[in-house]
Structure 1
Amino acid sequence: MATLAYPSASTARSPVASGSRLQSIDALRGLVMVIMLLDHVRETWFLYMPVGDPVDARTIMPALFFTRITSTLCAPIFVALTGLSAYLYGQRHSPAETSGFLLSRGAFLVLLELTLVNFSWRAELVPQFVFLQVIWAIGLCMIILAALIHLPARVILLLGIALVAGHNLLDGIVFLPDHPLFEPWAIIHERSQIELAGTVIKFNYPVLPWIGVICLGWSAGGWFSKLTTGERRRILLATGTGMIVGFLILRALNIYGDAPWFVVPGEPVRTVMSFLALTKYPPSLLFLLPTLGIGLILLAAFERANDSRLTHWLSVMGGAPMFFYLFHLYLLRVLYLTARAIWGTNHGDIFGVDSLCWVWVWYLGLIVPLYFPTRWFSNLKKRRKDIWWLKYL
């Protein structure tokens, strides 16, 4: 913990260049975006097969279960990288400038969630439903981090640990819709919904544990500004491995951190599925331990393979994350509407493919085509520093 908050002077031998992006961070962000694409393809072509939270290990088909949990890496890693990137931004700017950027960037993300992101899923000018999801959560976390960065580094670290490890203690607090705290609690901790002017607003990403994640990401920034690459890689591996081991022990004990898992007699695969079925909305302690742990290990791997072609390719994708996010959502929407216009609806009032294999075919077929426009925009950002608003994408 002390190393995380205050890297010692003896280890501060090779600071990261203050004006350059870290390819390993962009590569991990790019990998997360590629994985995220799989889940959004599933939600486009396989929506008629509902997936609950946590996933019901007794009823869901295993292939769909493991397709779904693959994407659970995305939100925790992306939020943590947001905090880490904010720290590195702060190494090149004053605290006031950093707070200002976090505040404006966060407000921009909240606006995007309410407008372009929601429109991409339903294409309704006057929506009946508004889903506040990961972009909303990241935006709120950035706004809150704008204030928190003025606290001592150790306080931010301890706050992050307390929120991630302790928020499940609040699970028993539930407010009824007529209670004055119902709406604030829906935003902070309990996944719920409200109705406002005829529109149902669903808070899918209660923000409290995500604030903890972004604080931990910020606190890890010292590893990248103070340590050599070798030292940083060892700490990333050790911390990530420790988080996964901690998850395995705590989950096996079945006493805290998520809904209990169970043994399915005669079906070992479903028993494993139950062990891995973790709550994402909001993310439980047991959900965050392995996902963030895997993220740290992957980041260490990209640090080692910094010159590889795969790392470079993924770093291009991760260099323009918001562009990729919006572009792929609208591309999927156009493809879906085109398919429905050609073949009509075949699962109630929606169109869907009949096999999960086709979800994977669509997914693999879209990765390369999405790379080229993202590369174009990433290069545009590098060339046109005079266009100030490009940094928001």
Structure 2
Amino acid sequence: MHNIVIHESPGDKPIAAKSSKLLGARIDSIDILRGLIILIMMLDHVRERFFMHTPTGDPIYDTVSPELYFTRYITHFCAPIFIFLAGMSAWLYANPANGQFRSPSSFLFKRGVVLVLFDIVLYNALWIELGYNTIWLQVLWAIGLSMIGLSLVCKMNIWLIGALGLLITFGHDAIKPSDIVPGDFAFTFLTILFQNNFIGEIAGIKIKASYPVLAWFGVILVGYCAGQLYAKNVAENKRKKTLLAMGIICLLVMLVLRGFNLYGEVMPWSVQETMLASVMSFLNFSKYPPTLNYVLITVGVGCLLLFLFEQFKDKAAKPFGALKVFGSVPMFAYFAHLYILLVAYWILFAIFGPTHGERFALGNVGMIWLATVILTIGLYIPTKKFAAYKHKHKREKPWLSYL
């Protein structure tokens, strides 16, 4: 979903000439980064499926071992970077390589609705063995609603979109979700925006918004504005310098805010008995909802990775080829690995029975990583074949664009 020039709204001064063209039909650095995020996401889902007996919490519990802490921590980068790239890709969709602007509103709205339905139906079906009495609105729900929101504001001036995204990203921590309680005016709407909480019940099934949407909406808006960096009239060297500067600025702002416990995180850090424990305390940010410091470190690292992948794109072409494959069909890889894990779990449960309480579980964190490597290798060929099929037939089969 990425091939573009620069968004123009009626009355806007064009930022790039209408005849400008993009770098190409697909942008390797974006595909590589998206593929890396998919692999990290697999790690998180292996942990969720096979290590459920050891909860990690949010923020991560201080009783969690360092190896499990950092295994969980690395997966924090998935949602914000993926949503940031979704914003970039939306801008790229709006400004195709032929230079003719096309409004992304309809596509974003339909895609957002489909992602919400995927989350409600396909994701929740994965955990039906736990009892289908709760619908958990997760990351696809957040991405879908963010896309729907972007579909409504994408006709604004591109810089206003970016400014609104920054305002939301830096300002949402000033709102205290704990102040929102059942019975308040517009409780459901406000909870969807700000709070990890139950929002209602339908036919005896509870509904919980695990991913409060407002902060993610800010991230997708910033990503949409940043998509301009990939217009052909933006010199490669300038784009790389801008990405590098964005990444460094994000991390520096995070270090200042977090270092002095000024703003952007609900739980202050403190010096611990060991240096490692102090680092863990410093980096321990909240995800539900994502705090400013959480967004700064994850999106900041994402910008640095985009810089590095483009900086070394020629040398990295072969080593990162597998990442490009996973990144070119992220939704296919996402659901394929989730259902593979579901089948694998029940096969292992049938063979070994419950090993931790009532569930089958892996014995240690190292086995989580090993299982992720095995899963990645096993899924590579099917993903590669589907990617080839998609890119060959996507013009006559529009439904492929949703995968």
Task: Give the TM-score taking structure 2 as reference length.
Answer: 0.91
Partner SS state of residue 201, structure 2: strand
Aligned runs of 1:42-61 on 2, under 5 Å? 42-57=47-62, 59-61=63-65
Q: Deviations over 1:256-313 (max 9, x none)?
A: 1102433354222222111111011111000000100000010011112223212332
CA RMSD across the alignment: 2.4
Task: Determine the structure 1 residue equivalent to 2:262.
Answer: 255
Task: Determine the structure 1 residue equivalent to 2:398.
Answer: 388
Verify the 8 A CA contact 1:83 1:217 in the aligned structure 2: yes
Query: Structure 2 vs 1, CA of residues 5 and 142 (structure 1 numbering), >3 Å: closer, same or farther?
Result: closer
TM-fit CA distance, 1:171: 1.6
- Looking at structure 2, the residues matched to 107 and 195 of structure 1 have their Cα atoms a distance apart, in angstroms, of 20
Task: Determine the structure 2 residue equivalent to 1:239.
Answer: 246
Greater length-normalized contact order (CA 8 Å, ≥ 6 residues apart): 1
Aligned runs of 1:33-44 on 2, under 5 Å? 33-44=38-49
Partner SS state of residue 345, structure 1: coil
Verify the 8 A CA contact 1:240 1:292 in the aligned structure 2: yes
Verify the 8 A CA contact 1:15 1:228 in the aligned structure 2: no
> Are 1:190 and 2:198 matched, yes or no?
no
> Are 1:223 and 2:233 matched, yes or no?
no
Q: Deviations over 1:62-115 (max 9, x none)?
A: 111110000111100000000000001000287764111001111110110011
Verify the 8 A CA contact 1:38 1:360 in the aligned structure 2: yes
Query: Structure 2 vs 1, CA of residues 67 and 86 (structure 1 numbering), >3 Å: closer, same or farther?
Result: same
Task: Determine the structure 2 residue equivalent to 1:372.
Answer: 381
TM-fit CA distance, 1:353: 1.4
Verify the 8 A CA contact 2:92 2:227 in the aligned structure 1: yes
Query: Structure 2 vs 1, CA of residues 25 and 85 (structure 1 numbering), >3 Å: closer, same or farther?
Result: same
Task: Determine the structure 1 residue equivalent to 2:276.
Answer: 269
- Of the candidates 313, 322, 331, which is equivalent to residue 322 of structure 1? 331
- Of the candidates 139, 145, 151, which is equivalent to residue 144 of structure 2? 139
State how many pairs are aligned.
388
Task: Determine the structure 1 residue equivalent to 2:3.
Answer: none
Task: Determine the structure 2 residue equivalent to 1:82.
Answer: 86
- Looking at structure 2, the residues matched to 32 and 110 of structure 1 have their Cα atoms a distance apart, in angstroms, of 20
Verify the 8 A CA contact 2:23 2:230 in the aligned structure 1: no
Task: Determine the structure 1 residue equivalent to 2:372.
Answer: 363
- Looking at structure 2, the residues matched to 323 and 10 of structure 1 have their Cα atoms a distance apart, in angstroms, of 35
Q: Deviations over 1:302-326 (max 9, x none)?
A: 1122232123321111110100001
Aligned runs of 1:154-173 on 2, under 5 Å? 154-171=159-176
TM-fit CA distance, 1:337: 0.8
Verify the 8 A CA contact 1:18 1:91 in the aligned structure 2: no
> Are 1:298 and 2:308 matched, yes or no?
no
TM-fit CA distance, 1:15: 5.4
- Of the candidates 293, 300, 309, which is equivalent to residue 286 of structure 1? 293
Task: Determine the structure 1 residue equivalent to 2:360.
Answer: 351
Verify the 8 A CA contact 2:267 2:285 in the aligned structure 1: no
Q: Deviations over 1:195-223 (max 9, x none)?
A: 32211212111000101000000000111
> Are 1:24 and 2:34 matched, yes or no?
no
- Looking at structure 2, the residues matched to 67 and 368 of structure 1 have their Cα atoms a distance apart, in angstroms, of 19
- Looking at structure 2, the residues matched to 10 and 373 of structure 1 have their Cα atoms a distance apart, in angstroms, of 41
- Of the candidates 65, 71, 78, which is equivalent to residue 75 of structure 2? 71
Q: Which runs of 5+ in 1 are unaligned?
A: none
- Looking at structure 2, the residues matched to 94 and 16 of structure 1 have their Cα atoms a distance apart, in angstroms, of 9
- Looking at structure 2, the residues matched to 64 and 70 of structure 1 have their Cα atoms a distance apart, in angstroms, of 10
- Looking at structure 2, the residues matched to 19 and 132 of structure 1 have their Cα atoms a distance apart, in angstroms, of 35
- Looking at structure 1, the residues matched to 26 and 103 of structure 2 have their Cα atoms a distance apart, in angstroms, of 18
Task: Give the TM-score taking structure 1 as reference length.
Answer: 0.93
| Aligned partner letter, 1:186 | T
TM-fit CA distance, 1:163: 0.5
Verify the 8 A CA contact 2:7 2:95 in the aligned structure 1: no
Partner SS state of residue 320, structure 2: helix
Query: Structure 2 vs 1, CA of residues 11 and 232 (structure 1 numbering), >3 Å: closer, same or farther?
Result: farther
- Of the candidates 127, 131, 141, which is equivalent to residue 121 of structure 1? 127
TM-fit CA distance, 1:28: 0.7
Verify the 8 A CA contact 2:137 2:210 in the aligned structure 1: yes
- Looking at structure 2, the residues matched to 196 and 268 of structure 1 have their Cα atoms a distance apart, in angstroms, of 49
- Looking at structure 1, the residues matched to 279 and 15 of structure 2 have their Cα atoms a distance apart, in angstroms, of 44
Partner SS state of residue 262, structure 1: coil
Query: Structure 2 vs 1, CA of residues 273 and 137 (structure 1 numbering), >3 Å: closer, same or farther?
Result: same
